[in-house]
Structure 1
Amino acid sequence: MKALLPLIILALLAGTLISLGIGQDTGYIRITIGHYLVETNFWVGAGFFVLAALALHWILNLSHRLRVTPGALTSWMRHSGQRRARRQTTRGLLELAEGNWGRARKLLEAGASKAETPLINYLSAAEAAHEQGDDEEAEVLLRKAWESTAGSDLAVGLTQAKLQLSAGKLEQALATLLRLRRKSPNHPFVLKQLSNAYMALEDWQALSELLPELRRQAVMDDESLNQLEKKVWLNVIDQAAERLERQPAEHRNLDHLDRIWDQLPPARREDDAVILHYAQHLAELGYETRAEALLRKVLRRNWSDELINLYGRLKGNRADEQLLMAEGWLQERPNNPELLLALGRLSLRNQLWGKAREYFETSINVKRKQETAAELCRLYAHLGQYEQSVRLLRQGILEHHGLPELPMPEPRRARERQSH
């Protein structure tokens, strides 16, 4: 208040003097500009002059401030654009997550130019375009993503491969991933996507060569990797066997199949499913003796019901030795139904009919199995025991179809009714 008091006193004095001046003489001002004439008293003209001076002073002051800090307005506009871009990006990502592809693509593209991370906008917009079925536009957006951010080759390439795999463009996806692997040979996600491409193309041989690197880089957990490894080698064996089956029997060469067996990782060479697969193909290709020798070696170390079942079906070099070997295993597993079934078959191969029947009957008493019942039924018929064969056959049919319990006529009464 003390600072304002002199100004207030000065303003009052000025107002008093102006009032006295107006009262004594209003004065006269006349201004002529071309055809225009302006007339007013002195005091009104003076008031306009003061107002004009104040306005000019304000304009000059504002102009001076803008000239001194030219970045202020630019900075404000830039931050405003970034805020709008962030809102568009956030909303676009939400629309993408909700499956609103068209809306997501529009928002993400609109915010890309001012976004702090335009790479994310363009990659997400490319995914939205792909979901709309517009793969050409997706490629354009991927190109913009690559151009927007230095060092984005890997991110853009992985997104491109993902979209190509999704679209079923398997060869293009494989080419993209192989290019990425040359640049980043140990990148886990590149390796995983490459394994997906090989699997989709059913290129099991190439995938088998990739497996060691997948394990070294810990691309997936051990259980998943073991399952994949098993699937891959089963298919590699299948493909090699199929090629051999298409060749004439006299020109078949097992060298390639043998090399595959030698290349198997140690864990797979002890896997019952892989061993069974390999032995079955050997037998189907006409190499039963090799399959029998392999299974004999494996069964000495590790027992498997699946392998002993196949062992009983194979014809080795010496049928008597094969039977003796299996009977030796019976001492440790006297009630194993699969071993008893195999012994019955090996007894048939040695023409020991009675022993074969005993083994089959013992096996079916331990565990009733359609395969064993069929073998025993066939043997009964060839031994002339038709009633037992028909009874066993009927039981097998009834069990197979799961018929309900229903009342049936007595056999004698049924014959009497038929005679009448």
Structure 2
Amino acid sequence: MKFLVWLLGLFSLAVALKLAAHNPGYVLLVYPPYRIEVSLTLFVLMMLALFVLGYFTVRLALSAVRLPAYVRQFRIERAHRKGRSAMMEALDAFFEGRFAVAEKAAVRAMELGESSGLNPVIAARAAHELREFERRDAYLASADNESAGVSTMRWMAQAKFNLDQHQPQAALQSLKELRESGVKGHVGALHLELRAQQQARNWDAILDVVDQLEKRSAMDSVAVAQIRQQAWLEKIRAHTLDAPALLAIWKSTPGEFKRRPKVVAAAARAFIHQGDCRNARQIITDRLNAAWDSDLVMLYGECLTGEAGSHIEQAEHWLKQHPDDAGLLLVLGKLCLHQGLWSKAQNYLDASNSIVPSSVAYTTLGHLSEKLHQPDEAFKYFQKAMALAQGK
């Protein structure tokens, strides 16, 4: 199609030239005392040539005038391209773990005029990984806080730096300023806050943050359950010296955690530490009646009071269901020893050692032998207990 157009154009030009060549017209130019007579065809061609020459002269002059601005713009765009390339290099290097390269590339991007607020944050994070904290703080301070996105990155980075240096209060302050800037419900910020509250051992705050993360489906259900259990364990352990507070904590503990052996054991130890054997035995009994746990039953014999008779009955009831539980036999031996039932204590302790020998059982047998005025037997039992304790 283009070839056909060009062909028609050439034929048209040829016809126009042929007609112009036989044109009898002329142009007379008079400038006294001069007279110039020129054929009309030549005059038209000269005017066309003059117009073309003038056009290109003007274009050349304008280009010469605009050249400095063009050169400046070219240099700016070239620097911008280099800066963007340096920023991408910094990102690649940072996520590849080449932190020294990432820092240098981010600094080069800033020097080239790359205005993205990402560069100082990348440089700060890279310097942090290199433990160059002074440079890190300088980069972070240079970040433009006017942009909402850059401000968020800055506070998030600052909180992470504080956490890595085990400064939870400073991290919480950074996250507070992030919330006050209008960023609320930020999942990444919530994860950082969870770490900060864990470092600060603020267990109530941990439970609150975990609830928020769970609502946003931002945490695995198994991890949520583990963190909640740890929080309730620590809340219980933190009140071992405050009886009313411990009782209140235990009553407020969710039912799902009251059924977990680790939580029950922690609560029982806390009550035992306060001398509250009644509550300790009650929560252990409730749990063991619901589901047996060989480790938990060992705590049943930790509180030896004058009510040991009824506790022996309870333990012997369990023994009918779990006759081969070495821990339960050991507990029965300790309870019988406390009640002065020497023969039964001997039988239970020997039965426990026949299943799983333990230094505690041999030590208890040693104390029993001392009660029976058998020093030689007691010495043998204590030796066996020491050998087991030392792993011999």
Quickly name the TM-score band, shorter chain normalised.
0.7 to 0.9
Partner deviation per Cα, 1:264-291 (whole Å, 9 max, x = no partner): 2332211111111111111111211221
Deviation at 1:73, TM superposition (A): 6.0
Q: 1:266 to 1:71 in 2, by over 3 A?
A: farther
The corresponding residue for 1:215 is 214
The corresponding residue for 2:79 is 81
Cα distance between partner residues in 2 of 1:104 and 1:294: 57
Q: 1:78 to 1:266 in 2, by over 3 A?
A: farther
The structure 1 residue matched to 2:368, chosen from 379, 382, 385, is 379
Q: 1:153 to 1:343 in 2, by over 3 A?
A: same
Cα distance between partner residues in 2 of 1:211 and 1:176: 19
TM-score scaled by length of structure 2:
0.76
Q: 1:179 to 1:262 in 2, by over 3 A?
A: farther
The structure 2 residue matched to 1:282, chosen from 271, 284, 303, is 271
Cα distance between partner residues in 2 of 1:130 and 1:394: 55
**Mapping of 1:51-130 within 5 angstroms?**
60-65=58-63, 76-96=74-94, 97-101=96-100, 104-112=102-110, 118-130=116-128
The corresponding residue for 1:192 is 191
Structure 2: give runs of 5+ residues left out of the alignment. Answer: 1-6, 15-51
Cα distance between partner residues in 2 of 1:297 and 1:317: 21
Deviation at 1:364, TM superposition (A): 0.8
RMSD over aligned Cα, in angstroms? 3.6
Partner deviation per Cα, 1:311-348 (whole Å, 9 max, x = no partner): 12223563221111111111111111111111111212
Alpha-carbon contact 2:187-2:218 (below 8 Å) kept = yes
**Mapping of 1:264-413 within 5 angstroms?**
264-315=253-304, 318-401=307-390
Cα distance between partner residues in 1 of 2:78 and 2:116: 17
**Mapping of 1:158-177 within 5 angstroms?**
158-177=156-175
Give the AA of the match of 2:291: N
Taking only the aligned residue pairs, the percentage that are identical comes to 23
Q: 1:141 to 1:342 in 2, by over 3 A?
A: same
Cα distance between partner residues in 2 of 1:167 and 1:326: 50
The corresponding residue for 1:259 is 248
Cα distance between partner residues in 2 of 1:132 and 1:148: 28
Cα distance between partner residues in 2 of 1:371 and 1:317: 22
Partner deviation per Cα, 1:90-121 (whole Å, 9 max, x = no partner): 333355455453x5434313324767771221
Alpha-carbon contact 2:258-2:264 (below 8 Å) kept = yes
Alpha-carbon contact 1:118-1:149 (below 8 Å) kept = no
Secondary structure at 1:164's aligned position in 2?
A: helix
Give the AA of the match of 1:108: A
Deviation at 1:63, TM superposition (A): 2.4
Q: 1:185 to 1:279 in 2, by over 3 A?
A: farther
Cα distance between partner residues in 1 of 2:387 and 2:138: 66
Alpha-carbon contact 2:329-2:348 (below 8 Å) kept = yes
Alpha-carbon contact 1:341-1:360 (below 8 Å) kept = yes
Aligned: 1:240 with 2:239: yes
Cα distance between partner residues in 1 of 2:376 and 2:87: 82
Alpha-carbon contact 1:316-1:322 (below 8 Å) kept = no
Give the AA of the match of 1:343: L
Alpha-carbon contact 1:186-1:217 (below 8 Å) kept = no
Alpha-carbon contact 1:181-1:191 (below 8 Å) kept = no
Equivalent pairs, count: 346
Deviation at 1:381, TM superposition (A): 2.7
Give the AA of the match of 1:205: D
Cα distance between partner residues in 1 of 2:234 and 2:74: 64
Give the AA of the match of 2:222: E
